[in-house]
Amino acid sequence: MTRVWKWNRPVTVREVLEDLQQERSIAYTTVMTVMDNLYQKGWVRREAEGRAYRYAAVSTRAAYAAALMNEAWQRSDNQAAALVAFFGMMSPEQRDALGDAMRVIQLPAEEPREVPAPPEGAEGAEESEGAEEAGEAAEAGEEQGSPEPAQDSGAPPAPGAAAELPESEGGAAEAGGGR
């Protein structure tokens, strides 16, 4: 799948073979089998071209990644905690990308809640000020322009299908899902 996604156009088994052979020795029949397996599982569609087929991805790499994340999240017994842990693992660049994505999909903002100010000198006064600053930062971020959404050419794979994709770094699986 890596090769099919990389080229973003219908490819033949021969093209994938020649690309893989730059890295290692692999047989035509191995690549043909993996491409056929991907077709049988619904990851690619194919069109006959003479005696060969041209294979094209059914969905984007982004849709595949989103389906994997959603599948993992759905399996969690505490989805909120899973999200907190996931966001905690993000690099600053990933958090920026998340912010950009949130602006692209334009989720409706939750109405601000009235929080009574704690009495002066009470614990938590600093937290209130921090929340106020975070709200101002969020409002400032909304004023910035948002990037164009990525074009998604297909629906994400069916749940459970992702686990069946070949992902090993060696062997026949690389033709379809190598990294």
109-146 pLDDT, tens digit per residue, is: 566 666 666 666 555 444 444 444 444 444 444 444 43
What are the residues whose beta carbons fall under 8 Å from the beta carbon of 71, sequence distance 6 or more? Answer: 159, 160, 162
The secondary structure of residue 79, as a DSSP letter, is H
**Count of helices and strands (H, E) across the chain:** 8, 3
Evaluate if residue 60 carries a pLDDT over 50.
yes
Residue 104 confidence (pLDDT): 87
Give me the mean pLDDT over the 9-24 stretch.
Answer: 95
What are the residues whose beta carbons fall under 8 Å from the beta carbon of 78, sequence distance 6 or more? Answer: none
Contact 58, 147 (CB under 8 A): no
44 burial type by CB count under 10 A (0-12 exposed, 13-18 middle, 19+ buried): buried
Evaluate if residue 155 carries a pLDDT over 60.
no
Q: In DSSP terms, which residues pair with 47 in a beta bridge?
A: 54
Token pair in block for residue 3? 């090769």
Give me the mean pLDDT over the 78-106 stretch.
Answer: 91
* C-alpha 105: how far from chain center: 15
* Mean of per-residue pLDDT scores for the chain: 73
Residue 177 confidence (pLDDT): 42
Q: In DSSP terms, which residues pair with 24 in a beta bridge?
A: none
Q: Is this structure's pTM higher than 0.95?
A: no
